[in-house]
Amino acid sequence: MERQFYPHSHQHSPSWHKLGSVFKYALIAVSIIGLFVYGLAYPKSEIFGKVIYRMNYPGKMVALTFDDGPNGVYTEQVLDILEREGIKGTFFLIGKNVEAYPQIAREIVREGHCIGNHSYTHPWLLPFETKRGLAAEISKTAEAIYNATGVHPKLFRPPHGFRTPWMISTLHKMGYKVIMWDDMTTDYMAGSKPAEIAQHIISHCKPGSIIVLHDGLNLNHSANRENTIKALRVIIKELKKEGYRFVTLKKLE
C-alpha cells in the first residue's frame, strides 16, 4: 500500500515563537514610551534630573506660586489680596507678558515677592528644542525680566510642566533650579468653579507644599481669571485656619 504523507497542521498555523518575539519587543517599546511620558509630564518625577516639587522647610509652611503673568488687572488683584493678607508669593513670569506689563512686574518685586522664569512664549514644544534653542528662549525671558525689574531670576518652571533630560541639563548648566509642584488644580480652565478650585488645593495641601495657581493664561491677555481670584481668597482663609504659614521660594535660589 502506498504510504501517504500529510503536512503537520502546525506548518499552516502562526509561528508562536515569532509572535512571542513581537509581543516582547512591543512590550519593551510601550514601557520605554510610558517611562518617557512619566518623566516628561509627572510633576514629581526626577528620572530626567533634579527638580523641586515641595519644600523641606520646618513647620506648616506652604508656598503660593502663580504662573503665566503678568496679566493686567488679575495680577493686580492677586497682589492686592496678598498685601491685605500679609503674604508673599512667587510669580513665574512669561517674558512676552513682562514686556506687555513691565510696570506690574516691577510692582511684584517692589512688594517683596519672588519671581521666576516661565519661558518667553510658553510654547508646548519647548522641551523638544535643541539645547541652543532652549538657552535662547530662557535667556530672552531673563533679559525681559531684568530690563523690567533689575532681577536675575534663578528659578525656572517649565511651561505646562513638560521637561526632557536635555532641558533639565541645560537649565542646571545655566544656574537654574527647576521648580515643579505637588498641589495644582485646573484653575486655568474657563469652566472651573471657585469652590472646586479651593477645595482641591486645600484638600491636597501638606506641610511643604508648592501650590500652583494661574494669574494669566499663556499669552492670552483677555483671559478671565476671576475664578482663580475668588478661589485664592478661600484658600488663604482656610489654610490660615489650619495653621499654615506662607513663604516664597526665595530660599531655593
Residues 69 and 38 in one domain: no
- Structural domain includes residue 204: yes
Residues 29 and 89 in one domain: no
pTM of the model: 0.89
Q: Mean pLDDT throughout 24-44?
A: 84
- Structural domain includes residue 6: no
Q: Mean pLDDT throughout 78-94?
A: 98
Confidence (pLDDT) at 37: 87
Nearest Cα to Cα of residue 90 among 164, 177, 206: 177
- With pLDDT > 70 as the criterion, what percentage of the chain qualifies? 92
Confidence (pLDDT) at 17: 65
| Catalytic machinery residues | 67, 214
Host H or E run for residue 40:
helix 16-41
Residues 81 and 133 in one domain: yes
Tally of CA atoms within 13 A in the half-sphere of 181 that contains its CB = 26
Q: Mean pLDDT throughout 113-120?
A: 98
- Structurally, the chain folds into a number of domains equal to 2
Residues 81 and 40 in one domain: no
Is the pLDDT reported for residue 191 higher than 60? yes
The answer for residues whose C-beta is within 8 angstroms of residue 161's C-beta and 6 or more apart is 41, 43, 180, 181
- Structural domain includes residue 12: no
DSSP string, 51-111: -B-B---SSSEEEEEEEEE--HHHHHHHHHHHHHHT---EEEE-HHHHHH-HHHHHHHHHT
Residues 143 and 211 in one domain: yes
Confidence band for 4, pLDDT divided at 50, 70 and 90: low
Confidence (pLDDT) at 3: 52
Confidence (pLDDT) at 34: 83
CA-derived radius of gyration, the chain: 24
The parent domain of residue 22 ranges over 17-47
Residues 102 and 195 in one domain: yes
- Structural domain includes residue 8: no
Confidence (pLDDT) at 176: 98
Q: How far is CA 48 from the centre of its chain?
A: 15
Residues 73 and 39 in one domain: no
Residues 97 and 195 in one domain: yes
